[in-house]
Amino acid sequence: MRGVVIPISMVPGNSVIHRISPLPKLLLAGCVLVLSFSTRNPAILGALIVLGMVMVSVANIWKPFLRVMAILFPILLTLITLQSIAPAFPRPWTPIVSMGPFTIYQEGIYSGVTMVERATSMTIFALAAIMTTHPSDLFASLQKIGMPYVLNFILTMTLQLIPILQKEFTTVLSAQKSRGLKGTGFAAVLPSMVPVFVGAIERVQQLSISLESRAFGSSGAKTSYRSVKVSWVDYLLMLLTTFGTCGLLYWIITDPSLDWSRTLIFAPWLAITLFTLATIGFLIFVIIAIRVVLRA
Amino acid sequence: MSGEKPILEIKDLTFTYAGAETPALKNINLQIFEGEYVALLGLNGSGKTTLQLCINAVIPHMIMGDMEGSVTVQDLDTAEYPTRELAKIVGVVFDNPEFQLSQMSVAEEIALGLENLGVAVEEMNPIIHEVLDIVGLSGLGDRSPFELSGGQQQRLSIAAALAMRPQILVMDEPTSNVDPIGKEEVFAVAAKLNRERKMTVIMAEHEVEVMAAYANRIIVMDHGEVILNGTPTEVFSQLDVLEKAGLRVPQVTEMAYRLEHDRSAHWNSVYPVTTEEAFQRIAPLFGGKHD
């Protein structure tokens, strides 16, 4: 049964990014994570985002990528709203404008914008890595870099169970509809929970017996069917990534002029516009989400 | 077969599930020999599943309860060896195919057991090919197990069990969640394994006609006890005992029985159990050529 698709899963393709072994991709995603948390410079974070978008373009995964971002970005926008009025920044704060009980601070806008950039850059690289890698290869790679077998297995199982539970949910909903119960809206979802979860528990029990019957958990050495091939190109890429990251980190740490929090001044109109747009964007998202849930 | 050592020996087995009042199995004594195709018949709740879970040590290692007596599989006492250690001897297929599958692809599903046994990666592909070929799923190695039909999924479960090279294949109502075509496929694979590879098959089923045709031993269970144990002809000829246990006999046996009572045909209490057999014995009554 197709039809139910996990939003974050592999998008088949044959781009350069698809063909690179998962290890350099995972490393790059990790490096970007480190980098984006070590700087608040909007230009560097912006550059990372652009680089990430180049990767998305090369891999040709814009559509699924934007689908995930459409959910994520409005949530991220709350950062701007909240940060502007309560910055996570050492005082003193410089007020830009006051609107009733709220004051928008310069540091707040700066902090909000950089946080959104930070989260976006991390997400882009992580998504690009996940969307261009077959899940099995991804797990094989994780295992290769030392993730415990059982933990890896739990992750694989979880990914498998999501579509199965969705399918079971649909079945239960249709069954209830056919007995004249309400088939849509939140009122229909609640009574379906019990049968779906009881079914899930039964499934897990049966599965554990099944797995045990196939020697799962037996003592002795295990082997792994899926293996990731790492070529010299991959090693080169990993080397480049590591060096690039180290270089950037060195620059970030040693160059104090990269802190633009006091120099990048937001004009009052820009601050208000950003604040309003972020708030409206988030509210629209919330309204759409509620409507979708109620109609489901 | 006398004198031969049984591959599975059950002695005075009594099992009560934790919290249950009455035992699910009462004083079971069975010997099963290599290469036998054993059909377990009985109503739901008669103890078929419980008995099968005892064979690969799920009872007493994974399901709690009170177990007396002993189950010995190839000289290994199940009380001492947990399920995972018996995986190389006993392969198990359960009734719901979807509840047995967990991997991203058919090939990985089969590889799972091999990985757990520590089989070298180079040896895996030939084994995967071989077992997929046996169950008739060649070429589907890259598909997701959840995209297969019920019959295919159940055959995949068989393949996954086979990959570990078991000597006994235990199947618990393997076709109860499968469509009619899928049923045929599963029965055909089990019969082929038994015939060509001398695999010992122990199958719980409700399809008496199929079991009469394939099995060489029928064990009938009722309320946790073995009430009949013999060849299909021996067992299905005991119509009254089966009826008391709430079980049906093959349609041809039923017809032969009624012919005897209404039309005074004489079978000497040995009734035909398959269509072929029935034809052989009924045809002469109509005269004409026969051999």
Residue B204 lies in a domain: yes
Residue A138 lies in a domain: no
B267 domain residue, yes or no: no
The predicted complex's ipTM stands at 0.87
* Domain co-membership, A126 together with A29: yes
User: A110 with A183, same domain?
Assistant: no
Q: Is residue B272 part of a domain?
A: no
What's the N-to-C CA distance of chain B in angstroms?
30
- The tens digit of pLDDT for each residue in A205-255 reads 899 999 999 998 888 888 888 888 888 999 999 999 999 999 999 999 998
Contact A95, A104 (CB under 8 A): yes
Among B residues 81-100, those touching chain A with beta carbons less than 8 Å apart:
82-85, 87-88, 90-92, 94, 96, 98-100
Residue B181 within any structural domain of the chain: yes
Q: How many angstroms separate the CA of residue A178 from the nearest CA in chain B?
A: 22
Q: Which of B233, B197, B238, B237 is nearest to B215 (CA)?
A: B233
Tokens for B126, please give them: 């030939």
A126 and A245 inside one domain:
yes
Chain A residue numbers with beta carbons less than 8 Å from the beta carbon of B120 are: 223
CB contact under 8 A, A224 and B121: yes
Using an 8 Å CB-CB cutoff, list chain A residues near B55. Answer: none
Instruction: Count how many domains chain A has.
Output: 2
Mean pLDDT of chain B: 91
Whether residue A1 is contained in a domain is answered as: no
Q: Are B245 and B220 in contact (CB under 8 A)?
A: yes
Please answer yes or no on whether B92 and A210 come within 8 Å at the CB atom.
yes
Residue B102 is nearest to which of A160, A221, A227, comparing CB atoms? Answer: A160
Q: Do A127 and A245 lie in a common domain?
A: yes
SS3 at position B204:
strand
Beta-strand pair B76-77/B65-73: antiparallel
Q: Is the CB of B42 inside 8 Å of chain A's CB atoms?
A: no
Q: By residue range, what is the domain housing residue A191?
A: 148-213
- Predicted pLDDT at A135: 82
Contact A226 B108 (CB under 8 A): yes
Residue A147 banded pLDDT, cuts 50, 70, 90: confident
Residue A26 C-alpha, separation from nearest chain B C-alpha, in angstroms: 20
Q: And the tokens for A250? A: 């060195």
Same domain, A120 and A255: yes
Q: Chain A interface residues facing chain B, Cβ-Cβ under 8 Å?
A: 1-2, 134-136, 156-157, 160, 163-164, 202-203, 206-218, 220-227
C-alpha distances out from residue B97 to A72, A207, A255, Å: 37, 10, 61
Q: Which pLDDT band, with edges at 50, 70 and 90, does A3 fall under?
A: very low
Same domain, A199 and A245: no
> Which domain does B124 fall in, by range?
8-249
Rounded CA Rg of chain A: 24
Q: What is the mean pLDDT of residues B75-97?
A: 93
Domain termination residue (choose one: A213, A239, A266): A213
As a whole number of angstroms, the distance between CA B32 and CA B202 comes to 9
Tokens of A180: 């004249």
Partnered with residue B90 across adjacent β-strands are B168
The total domain count for chain B is 1
pLDDT above 50 for A4: no
Q: Tell me if B1 is assigned to some domain.
A: no
Within-domain flag for B69:
yes
In a domain, A107, yes or no: yes
Q: Would you say A93 and A266 are in contact if contact means Cβ atoms under 8 Å apart? A: no
Residues A166 and A25 in one domain: no
Mark whether A129 and A274 lie in a shared domain. Answer: yes
Give the closest-approach CA distance of B208 to chain A in angstroms.
Answer: 26
> Measured between CB atoms, does B124 come within 8 Å of chain A?
yes
The residue among B237, B233, B30, B98 whose CA lies nearest residue A206 is B98
Q: Verify that A165 and A290 share a domain, yes or no.
A: no
